A and B are shown apart, each in its own frame.
Chain A
Amino acid sequence: MVMVIIGAFLLTPAMQGLGEAGRILYFHVPCAWVSTVAYLVAAYGGVRYLATRNLDFDRQSAAAAQIGLLFTVLATASGAVWAQIAWGKWWNWDPRQTFIAMVMLLYGAYFALRLSIDQIDQRAVVSSAYVTFALVAAVFLMFIAIRLPHTSTLHPSPVLPTQADQDEDSPSLKGGMEPDMRIVLMSSLAGFTGLAYWMWRVQVRVDRLAADLAPAQEAASLEGATTAHPASGADA
C-alpha cells in the first residue's frame, strides 16, 4: 500500500487535462473495484448460507457487505471530489453517481433489516436472501442500465480497453493509459484488494469469537446474578 501511495504521487505523469488531481484515479477506481468484489462475496456467502444453513457463511456475508458499504462510501466521496475538480460540481447526476447512490441505499437497508431481527437463524435467512436480491439489483444498475443508449455518462469506459473502445475515435477518454499509470493502478488494485481481504478476515474472526463467547457470557452473567443475590440479602 505504501508503495502504491508513493507510486501514485511520484512515478506517474500528471494527467492531461486534469493535472495533479488526476492522481485520485489510483484511489477512486480501487475503492469501486473492492466494493464490487465485496458485494459479490456477500451474495456468495448469502447463497451458501441458504444452501447449507451454516451460520459461518452468514457471518462472512455480513462482513463482506460491511466492507462493501464502506468502500462504496469511499468511492462515492473520492468520486465527488474528482467531479468537483473535473466537472466543476460535487454532484452532477451522472448515471454512475445516481446508481451508486441507489446501491448505497440498498446496502444501508440491508443493515437496517439485519438489525431489526433478534433471532439469529431468522436474521441469517432474511439477510442472506436480501443480500442476494440486492446484488442482482446492484449489478443491474451498475453494469446493465448504464451501458444502454440514451444514458450518457462522463465516466470513461472500463479500464482495460476492449477492441471496440480502440476503434472509437476519442482515445483520450476511452481508457488509453500510459504504461506507468497502468502499473501503478494495477498494484493499487492489488493493494486495496489485499487490505479489504485482511479487514474482512479480521471482521469474520471477531464475529466468530463473539458467537463462541455468547453462550459463555450468558452463563457467566447468570452465575453472577445468583451469587450476587445472597450477598445483597445478607447486607439487608
Chain B
Amino acid sequence: MRSVVRGAWAVLLKDFRSEFRTRYALSAIALFALTSIAALSFVLRGQAMQPEESAGLSWIIVFFAAVTGLARPFVQEAESGTELLLRQAATSEAVWLGKFLFSLVLMLGLEAIIFPVYSALMNAPVVRVWYLALVAALGAVCLSAATTLIAALVCKARARATVFAVAALPVMLPALVFLVQASGSAFGAGDAGGESASALRLVVSYSGILIVLSWLLFPLVWEE
C-alpha cells in the first residue's frame, strides 16, 4: 500500500510539473469557465434567480468545464507518446491514484474559481458558504471518480475530446442531478436538512461506487 501511495505521489508530482511547464489545461479550463459565466451574465443581466436555478446553472458550468479539462491527464500521455513509459515506470494502481488525485486538485481549483465569480457576477448570493464548500468538495470527488476511467478509455479512440464528452457526461449526469438538489439550500432554498441531506448522501454513495469500480477496472484497461 505504501509503495502505491509513493508511486501515486510521484505520478501526481510529474503531472503537476508537466502541467506548469505548459499551463495548457489549467488556463484552458479556467478561461472556459470564466467565458461561460460571462456569457450567462450578459444573457441574464443580473436578473434575480430562484436558488435552485442558481445552483443548477453554476453546476452546469462546472460540468462542462470538467468535460473540457478532465480528459487531459490521460490524453496528454497519449498525445506526447509517454503512455508506454508511464506503464513501465509505475504500477497501474499508482497511475490510477495519481491521475485521480490530479483530476481532484484540478476540479477543486476550478470550483474555487467558478463559485465565487459566479456568485458575484450572477447576483446569486451564497447563504451557506461552508455547506456549499462541502457539496463542492464532494462533487469534485464524484466527478474525478467518474472521469478517471473514462479518460483512460478514450485515449484509444479517435476524436478523443468529443468522445470523452459523449462518454463522460451520462456517467456524470446522475451526479449533476444530486449535486444540484444538494446545493440548492446553499443558495438559500429551504433548509440544509431533509432533501439536500439525502441528495448529499446519494452523491457520497455514487462516488463510492464509482471509485471502487474504476479502481477495479482500471488495471484491466491499462495493462494490455
Contacts and interface: CB of A to CB of B under 8 A. Distances in A.
Interface in A78-114: 98-99, 102, 105-106, 108-110, 112-113
Nearest to A117: B157
Given A50-B220, A113-B166, A140-B209, A129 B174 contact: no
B60 interface: no
B174 A130 contact: no
A149 B196 CA distance: 12
B169 interface: yes
Interface string B102-145: 00000000000000000000000000000000000000000000
Interface in A195-232: none
Contacts of A129: 149, 153, 217, 220-221
B9 interface: no
A80 B195 CA distance: 27
A149 to B, nearest CB: 6
Instruction: Give the dominant DSSP class at A's interface.
Output: helix
A148 B163 contact: no
Contact of B174 (A102, A118, A123): A102
A125 B220 contact: yes
A102 B173 contact: yes
Interface residues of B, number: 34
Contacts, number: 93
Contacts of B170: 102, 105-106, 108-109, 134, 137
B109 to A, nearest CB: 26
Contacts of A99: 174
State which size class the interface on A falls in: 20 to 34
A148 B167 contact: no
Interface stretch (B15-23, B42-50, B68-76, B198-206): B198-206
Contacts of A118: 158
Given A106-B170, A116-B158, 11 more contacts: A99-B174, A109-B166, A109-B167, A119-B156, A122-B224, A126-B153, A130-B150, A130-B167, A133-B149, A134-B171, A136-B209
Interface of A: 50, 98-99, 102, 105-106, 108-110, 112-113, 116-119, 121-123, 125-126, 129-130, 132-134, 136-137, 140-141, 144-145, 148-150
22 contacts: A105-B170, A108-B170, A113-B167, A116-B154, A116-B157, A116-B158, A116-B159, A117-B158, A121-B224, A126-B153, A126-B156, A126-B157, A129-B149, A129-B220, A132-B217, A136-B210, A137-B170, A141-B174, A144-B205, A145-B174, A149-B198, A150-B198
